[in-house]
Each structure stands twice: as structure tokens, then as C-alpha cells.
Amino acid sequence: MEFTKTPGWLDWYAGPSQPRFKLPAGAVDAHCHVFGPGAQFPFAPERKYTPCDASQAQLFALRDQLGFARNVIVQATCHGADNSALIDALQHADGRARGVATVRRTVSDAELQAMHEAGVRGVRFNFVKRLVDFTPKDELLEIAGRVAKLGWHVVIYFEAVDLPELWDFFTAIPTTVVVDHMGRPDVTQPVDGPEFALFLRFMREHPNVWSKLSCPERLSVSGPPALQGEQAAYRDVVPFARRVMEEFPDRVLWGTDWPHPNLKDHMPDDGLLVDFIPHIAPTAEQQHQLLVDNPLRLYWPELS
């Protein structure tokens, strides 16, 4: 099948620079995606965008170039609940990738078991309205209850303004809950302001809640972008990520978000995104927790 990209689509950055920051041995890129290729793994009819291709081979080449040991591949909404591209990537990763899938309540126990064997360890619930149609909360809670029995967790993606109305639902989820991209704070607001305070309270009061300190390129308003050798990119995001790192050092993850769907302004150089890490995790101990200890505990407990 031939697909035409969404108008204005920005492709991932070819030829990223070599990071200056040396990742610790065993580092995990805990949030990245594969897109298709569309000719082999068609995009879902219900998708809200049509991306460029971003294959498993391209993802694994980036992993090796940047110095990551492992990937956590998260089902992208352009593939709906068809996890074929994700599963195929996991099966070709030599045990160096785990996955987060999207499922409907019609998924069978045998299908969940097969996903587990391929390396899936979580499901993703998405509340970002530009990406997905609404799914009833009772369906999601039913799914959460089923995957809890497999020892999986739930990844949630939402905008900060929606946290108050989603709070009761999120706090009813019986598994570990991992928040994508820090719950998308508005970084033009103060880090001590009420919006981010609510997010911190969410984590403080619920020890099962983790957060990815990812996507500065998406959250930043004033940049500067991770391009042309910039070693101090996305400065407006740093105080937010540092705050979460400092308060919850054993419940944070980091990922590239490659191939960065739906960016409008620029496509970051992924090597420079790695150079962003020491700004939010300045000590070697924090870096090890963020990049090695925490993701291994969640995705490769047998190694940790």
C-alpha cells in the first residue's frame, strides 16, 4: 500500500551528531517508535496522521550510534491497535527491545500471551485528543485489570490541563502507571505554579506513578533547538525535568521519542538530544538511575 504523508510532515533527522555525553553502559532508550514501513505494516485506517517510514533497522542503527544498549518501543497511534510492526521489531531485536502495545477489549488472552512472549510489558492509554478517538474508561479499566495479571504496566499520555478531570480514573488503575513526557506541562508557567504542582502531587501521593522526562523538543517554547551543535538546548524545560528527577529519582525514565511524530517547528538532532540528559540529571548517580536502573527494573527485571 502507498501512503502519502500528512502535509507539512517533518521527517526524522538523518545523520545525527555523535553525542558528547557518554551514556552509561546498559542505557535504555525507554520511549521510541517504529512507523511501518507502510508498505509492509500499513498504517491504521483510524489514524489521525500519516508519518514517514521509520523502520526497526533504522531505529536499531540509531540505538547503536547513540550508545544505547536497549529500546522500549511504544506503539504509535498511527498504527492503532494493530501491533504488527511493534511485535516484528521486538522479534528482531535479539532481546534488546521491550514493547508497549495498544489493545482493545476484544483482545484475547492468547493474543496477550503471545505479545508477552514477544517482549510486550505494557499497554498505552492515550488521552491526547488530536491523536485518538475517545475510549470509554470502563473498557480501559477492564484492560488494565487483565494486563495486571501478566505483570504489565499502563502508560498514559495526556495534556497537563486534563489531569484534574482524569485524576480519579488514573488513580484507579491497579498497575504501575508511567506518564509520557511529564504529562506535557506548559513550560511558560512557573515550575512552582499550580499546574505543575498538581502533577508533582499526583506522583507524590501515588507511589505507583512513574514519569518519562522525555520530549523537551515537544514541550519547549523558547528553545533553543537541538540543532547545529547546541549544547544547552530547550532551557525552558530543564527546571521541570530536574524537579521530577530530584524528587522521584527511582521512578523516572528517559527516551528519545524518535522518530518524533507531529513536530511542527523543527526536527531535533538526536545526538544533541542525548547531550540534553546531563542538564536534567547532573550527577552520575542520577544518570544511572534514569537510564539504567529504573528502566531495567520495569522492563528487564531479570537483569536488575
Q: Report in angstroms how near the CB of residue 253 gets to ligand 0GZ at its nearest.
A: 13
Q: Interface with ligand 0GZ includes 274 (CB under 6 A)?
A: no
Among 81, 131, 150, 166, binds ligand 0GZ (CB under 6 A): 131
Rg (CA), the chain: 18
- Among candidate residues 29, 257, 269, 275, the one labeled active-site is 257
**Closer residue to ligand 0GZ (CB): 48 or 116:** 48
Residues of this chain, 154-213, that bind ligand 0GZ according to CB under 6 A: 180
Asked if residue 58 binds ligand 0GZ (CB under 6 A), the reply is no
Distance (Å, whole) CA 157 – CA 179: 6
Amino acid at 50: T
Q: 210 pairs with which residues across the strands? A: 178
Question: What secondary structure does DSSP assign to 135-150, as a single string?
Answer: --HHHHHHHHHHHHTT
How many C-beta neighbours within 10 Å does residue 221 have? 11
| Contact call for residue 262 and ligand 0GZ (CB under 6 A) | yes
Question: C-beta of 76: minimal distance to ligand 0GZ in Å?
Answer: 4
Does residue 94 carry a catalytic annotation?
A: no
79's CB contacts (< 8 A; 6+ apart) are 35, 41, 43, 44, 47, 85, 86, 102
* In the complex, least distance from residue 131 CB atom to ligand 0GZ, rounded to whole angstroms: 5
Return the closest-CA partner of residue 258 out of 215, 198, 204. 215
**Site for ligand 0GZ, rule CB under 6 A:** 76-78, 131, 180, 218, 257, 261-262
Catalytic residues: 257
